[in-house]
A and B are shown apart, each in its own frame.
Chain A
Amino acid sequence: MKISEIGIGRLLRISSGLVIVGLLLEIVSLLWFHPLSFVLFAFLAAALIGLGILVYLVSLVFVAPPPPAARE
């Protein structure tokens, strides 16, 4: 399946979901005073947020917007 076939709506949902989960984990890491909090932030939260941003940018570059008739 090509990226362009996935559809911008679905990619935006994936991107938003990743960003939200990453940001929630970042809040946990900020409120948790523990040596592992940095690991949680760097390897999970930041990675998920970064992936979310990447998916969003991919949706901008590779996915053409749907024709006007197909819009809600």
Chain B
Amino acid sequence: MIAVLICQIVLSIVLAAVFLIRPSVTHAVGWKIVAFIGLCVLPALCIVGGMNTHIQRSEQTRFCISCHVMIPYGQSLYVDDPSHIPAQHFQNHRVPAAAACYACHADYTIYGPLKDKMQGLKRIYMQYVSTPPDPATIRIAGGFKNAQCLHCHLGARSFEENAVHAALLDSLKSEQTSCLTSGCHDTAHDIANLSHLKLWRPAP
């Protein structure tokens, strides 16, 4: 996909270079059309393609943990303990392993990816301009919403046939009872104790 986009960009550069070297060619009608394509249509498509590629790339697990403060969060996905919810989801492919962070931390609304991208820019600012936070102290603003869990689990047989889930379903949907902090699934990324935890090593 990136290769196709780069080919398109190179073609745009070649066309733009023609008008940089010899702008007078645009006096001919045919070249006016080529100029419109080379200096307007193709570059605009390159912006759209680039934005799409960058947004898709930012959904990848390896992109998220390429930020220094996120490295321990990436390591916590390998904790060898099924009570650790992110590790359990990642290791058993309950979420796509290549997009594990995004699967649980995305805002699944119409402007969700853009909203997440704006949050990401704020974190880049913290990383490079202000003081990066201690990884163990990072908390999600407003807490982790049940909607992120219910996005996948709602309607799943194993989830809805569970007696506890069935009894609490309305309360979970209305966010009155939290999946994570109500005492049921309270171990997420245990960064503070990561050095003491046994990590799973996948077979090469």
Contacts and interface: CB of A to CB of B under 8 A. Distances in A.
Interface of A: 8-10, 12-13, 15-17, 19-20, 22-24, 26-27, 29-30, 33-39, 41-42, 45-46, 49-50, 52-53, 56-57, 65, 71-72
A53 B62 CA distance: 34
Nearest to B5: A30
29 contacts: A9-B23, A12-B39, A15-B16, A15-B39, A16-B17, A20-B20, A23-B16, A23-B43, A23-B46, A26-B9, A27-B9, A27-B10, A33-B62, A35-B66, A35-B67, A35-B127, A36-B124, A36-B128, A38-B57, A38-B121, A45-B50, A46-B50, A46-B51, A49-B43, A49-B44, A52-B16, A52-B43, A53-B39, A72-B27
Determine chain A's interface SS by DSSP, over half rule. helix
A35 B132 CA distance: 14
Nearest to B9: A23
Contacts of A57: 40
Interface residues of B, number: 38
Interface of B: 2, 5-6, 9-10, 12-13, 16-17, 19-20, 23-24, 26-27, 35, 39-40, 43-44, 46-47, 50-51, 53-54, 57-58, 62-63, 66-67, 117, 120-121, 124, 127-128
Contacts of B27: 65, 71-72
Contacts of A45: 50
A13 B2 contact: no
B39 A23 contact: no
A37 B58 CA distance: 10
Contacts, number: 110
A24 B13 contact: yes
B191 to A, nearest CB: 19
B24 A19 contact: no
B50 A19 contact: no
A12 B25 CA distance: 11
A62 to B, nearest CB: 15
B50 A12 contact: no
Given A13-B20, A38-B58, A53-B44, A19 B12 contact: yes
Q: Which of B19, B46, B50, B127 has the most CB of A within 10 A?
A: B50
